[in-house]
Chains A and B, each alone.
Chain A
C-alpha cells in the first residue's frame, strides 16, 4: 500500500484535472464563443445549454485541488504558493462567471449584454489561468523572458481546447443546427489543436522520462486522428475528442512523473501524506467515484434532449 497509494492518487489527480478540463471546457468554451454572435437571444440560449451541468463540472476542480492538498501535502505547499498569480486569475474568472450565471436571468438589464460580457470575461480569465498553470507547473514557475512567449502559446492551446469543446457542445445541445461556416471553423480549430499537440508531443518525447508504453497511447491517438468520424456524428465527435484530450493529459503527466514537484525533484512518494490517512481516502474513492460517475451520467440522461429554454417551472 505504501508504494501503491501515492501512485494511485497521482493518477486520480490527473484524471480529476482532465475531467475538469473536459467537462468544464464545455462551459468555458461557450463563454469564449460569446463574441462570435451579436444576438442577445442566441447568447442567452448558448449559456442556457450549460446551466444544469456547470456547477457539477466545476466540482472536478475542487476534487483535483482536494487531492493535491490532501494526498500530497508536501507538494501543495510548493506548487500552489508558486502558482499564486495564475491561480488567482483562474479563481477570479470562476467567481465572475458564477455571478454572471445567476444575474444574467435574475437581474437582466434590458437591451444590455453586460452579464454576457461578464460571462465572457470570466471564461477568458479561466482560460488564461488554466494555460498559465499548466505551463508554469512544468516550467519551473518561470513566466518571464522568453517564457512570456511560451506561456502565451500555452494559453492559446488551452483556448483552442476550450473552443473546440464549446462548439462540440453547441452541436450537441443547442436547438439550432450550426451553420456550415461555423462547423468548418470547428474543423479548422481542430486542426490547430493537432498542430499544437504535435509540437507539444515532440517536446514531451525529447525532454521527458518518456516511456515505451506511452507509444501505445500515441498509436491509439493517431488511429483516432485519422478516423473520418470526427464530424459525422456529434456524440462520436465528443467521445473521440475526449480521448484525444485524455491522451494529451496522460502525456502531460509523463513529463514529470514520478516527480510531483518537477523543479525540486520531489517524487509522489516523498510528497505523500501518511499511508494510514491515504488508505481512508482510498476506500472512500473506491466506493464514491463509481457512484458519482453513475449519477453524473443519470443527470446527462435526464437532460438528453436539446436545451434551449431554461426555467424553474
Chain B
C-alpha cells in the first residue's frame, strides 16, 4: 500500500474513533445540566442517581475524546502538511479560536464539575456544568464551521497557490455551515437519546423497580420521538444543499451514473464502477428527481459529468444507506416504545432487547453520515481547491504501517473496554439501588 493510502487510513481511523466521543459529550453535557437542574428543583433523588451514573460516562467519554483529539491535531502536521500550507490562513484562525475559546474552558471547568461538587456551592457547581456544556458545544461549532467551509469554500482568494481571507463572514457563514451544524447537533442529541434508552432498559432488566432508570428511559424515548423525525426531515434539506454545492457527492450516494430525467431512487443495488451501472437494483421510480428538483421529470446530474473527479461510489452509496436505514429503525422503535410509555404499559421483552441493541445506534448513523460527507468530498480535501493527494507528506510506508497497526489495536481494545465499562457501571448502579 502507498503511504498516501496508509496516511488516509490512519487519519480516517483516528477521526472515526475520535468523533464517537464528542458526539456523546456535546449532548450529554446539556442532559447532565438538565438532571442537575431537576434535582436542585425537585430534590427527587431519582435525578441525583441519574446524574451520578451519567457524569461518569461523560468523564470517560471526555477523556477519550480529548486524547484522540490531540492525536488528530498532530496528524494535521505530521501527515497532511499541505493542508495548512494551502488553507492555513483560513483553517488556522478557526482552529486556534477552538482551542482558545473552547478547549481550555471545557477542560478546566470539567475538573470543577467532576471533583468539586462537595467543595463549592450548588450554584457554582451548576455553573461549571453550564460552562462545560457551552465549551463542548462551542468546540463543535468551530470545527463544524471549518469542515463545512471545506465542503463549500467561500470568501477567499488564491495568491500563489495559497488561500487568503477575503471575508470572514462568508467563510463562517458558508452555504453548508447551517446544515452541517444543525445536522450534527441533532445527531449528537439522538445518539445520547439512544444511549439513555439502551442503558436504562438494560438497568431495568436487572432491577425491575429501579425508578431512576424508568424516568431516564422515558425521557430518552420522548427525546427520540421528537428528534428522529426532525432529523429525517432535516436530512432532506442537507441533501438538497449538497446537491447544490457538491453534485458529485449526491450522484455517488444515489449511484446515478448518467445525467437524465425522471431519475429513480435506488433503494438497494451493487454499484459497479467499471461497468458504470448498478446490478440487482431495487428502485422507486422518479423519487430522486422529485426530492432534488421537486419535479417528477426533473433532470439530475449523474457521475458522467465529473469524469475522474468524483468520489468512489461504493463507500458513499452504502454509508448513506446505513445512515438512512439506522435512522428509520430508530424512528420505528421510538414510535412503538412511545406508545407503551404513553399507555403506561410494561415493555414486552423483544422491544427491550431491540432497545438495548440500539444503545450505540447513534454512533453507527453518525459515522456513516460522516463517511458520506468526507468520502463524498473526495478526491478533494477542500472542495474544488485542494486535492487530498496534494496535501500528504512523504512518510515511509513502514513507519506509517507500524503506527497504524499500533493505534488500530489501541482503538479496538479501548472501544470494547469503553462499552464494557459503561454497561458494568450501569449494572452496579441498578443493583445497588433498592428501588423505591
**A280 vs B390: C-alpha distance in the bound complex, in angstroms?**
27
Chain B nearest CB, measured from A294 CB (Å)? 10
Chain B nearest CB, measured from A91 CB (Å)? 5
Q: Is the CB of A91 within 8 A of B114?
A: no
The 9 A-B residue pairs with the shortest CB-CB distance in the complex, in nearest-first order = A80-B77, A70-B92, A52-B111, A77-B81, A98-B67, A73-B88, A288-B100, A56-B107, A277-B89
Query: Given A87-B74, A303-B119 in contact, is the A281-B64 Cβ separation under 8 Å?
Result: no
Q: Is the CB of A276 within 8 A of B96?
A: no
Q: Is the CB of A102 within 8 A of B63?
A: yes
- Chain A residues whose C-beta falls within 8 Å of the C-beta of B425 in the assembled complex: 106
| A-facing residues in B160-204 (Cβ within 8 Å) | 162, 164-165, 168
Q: Is the CB of A107 within 8 A of B55?
A: no
**A74 vs B85: C-alpha distance in the bound complex, in angstroms?**
6
Stretch at the interface among A58-66, A136-144, A209-217: A58-66
- Chain A residues whose C-beta falls within 8 Å of the C-beta of B406 in the assembled complex: 92
Known: A56-B107, A56-B111. 12 other contacts (CB 8 A): A70-B96, A77-B85, A81-B395, A95-B71, A102-B64, A106-B425, A276-B165, A281-B97, A289-B100, A295-B104, A302-B120, A311-B115
A-B contact count (CB 8 A): 211
Q: Is B93 an interface residue (CB 8 A)?
A: yes
Q: Is B66 an interface residue (CB 8 A)?
A: yes
Query: Given A70-B93, A91-B70 in contact, is the A276-B115 Cβ separation under 8 Å?
Result: no
Q: Is A101 an interface residue (CB 8 A)?
A: yes
Choose one: B97, B100, B107; the contact of A55 (CB below 8 Å).
Answer: B107
Choose one: A56, A58, A88, A311; the contact of B403 (CB below 8 Å).
Answer: A88
Q: Is the CB of B165 within 8 A of A81?
A: no
Q: Is the CB of B107 within 8 A of A59?
A: yes
Count A interface residues, CB 8 Å: 63
Query: Given A70-B93, A107-B421 in contact, is the A80-B78 Cβ separation under 8 Å?
Result: yes
Q: Is the CB of B82 within 8 A of A77?
A: yes
| A-facing residues in B51-93 (Cβ within 8 Å) | 52, 55-56, 59-60, 62-64, 66-71, 73-74, 76-78, 81-82, 84-85, 88-93
Choose one: A76, A84, A87, A277; the contact of B165 (CB below 8 Å).
Answer: A277
Query: Given A55-B62, A84-B399, A274-B165 in contact, is the A281-B108 Cβ separation under 8 Å?
Result: no
Q: Is A67 an interface residue (CB 8 A)?
A: yes
Q: Is the CB of A107 within 8 A of B114?
A: no
Contact surface of B with A, Cβ cutoff 8 Å: 52, 55-56, 59-60, 62-64, 66-71, 73-74, 76-78, 81-82, 84-85, 88-93, 95-97, 99-101, 103-105, 107-112, 114-120, 162, 164-165, 168, 393-395, 399, 403, 406-407, 410, 414, 417, 420-421, 424-425
Q: Is the CB of A284 within 8 A of B111?
A: no
Q: Is the CB of A295 within 8 A of B105?
A: yes
- Chain A residues whose C-beta falls within 8 Å of the C-beta of B82 in the assembled complex: 77
- Chain A residues whose C-beta falls within 8 Å of the C-beta of B112 in the assembled complex: 52, 299, 302
| B-facing residues in A79-126 (Cβ within 8 Å) | 79-81, 83-85, 87-88, 91-92, 94-99, 101-103, 106-107
Q: Is the CB of A81 within 8 A of B393?
A: yes
Contact surface of A with B, Cβ cutoff 8 Å: 51-53, 55-56, 58-59, 61-63, 65-71, 73-74, 76-81, 83-85, 87-88, 91-92, 94-99, 101-103, 106-107, 273-274, 276-277, 280-281, 284-285, 288-289, 292, 295-296, 299, 302-303, 310-313
Q: Is the CB of B117 within 8 A of A312?
A: yes
Question: Chain A contact residues: over half helix, strand or loop, or mixed?
Answer: helix
Query: Given A69-B73, A284-B93 in contact, is the A303-B99 Cβ separation under 8 Å?
Result: no
**A103 vs B413: C-alpha distance in the bound complex, in angstroms?**
12
Chain B nearest CB, measured from A156 CB (Å)? 24
- Chain B residues whose C-beta falls within 8 Å of the C-beta of A58 in the assembled complex: 66-67, 70, 107
Query: Given A66-B95, A303-B116 in contact, is the A94-B85 Cβ separation under 8 Å?
Result: no
Q: Is the CB of B70 within 8 A of A274?
A: no
- Chain A residues whose C-beta falls within 8 Å of the C-beta of B59 in the assembled complex: 102, 312
**A299 vs B113: C-alpha distance in the bound complex, in angstroms?**
10
Q: Is the CB of A310 within 8 A of B93?
A: no
- Chain A residues whose C-beta falls within 8 Å of the C-beta of B63 in the assembled complex: 55, 98-99, 101-102
Q: Is the CB of A63 within 8 A of B74?
A: no
- Chain A residues whose C-beta falls within 8 Å of the C-beta of B89 in the assembled complex: 73, 273-274, 276-277
Chain A nearest CB, measured from B117 CB (Å)? 6
Q: Is the CB of B96 within 8 A of A66?
A: yes
- Chain B residues whose C-beta falls within 8 Å of the C-beta of A56 in the assembled complex: 104, 107-108, 110-111
Chain B nearest CB, measured from A152 CB (Å)? 21
Q: Is the CB of A87 within 8 A of B78?
A: yes
Chain A nearest CB, measured from B83 CB (Å)? 9
Choose one: A65, A273, A274; the contact of B74 (CB below 8 Å).
Answer: A65
**A70 vs B168: C-alpha distance in the bound complex, in angstroms?**
16
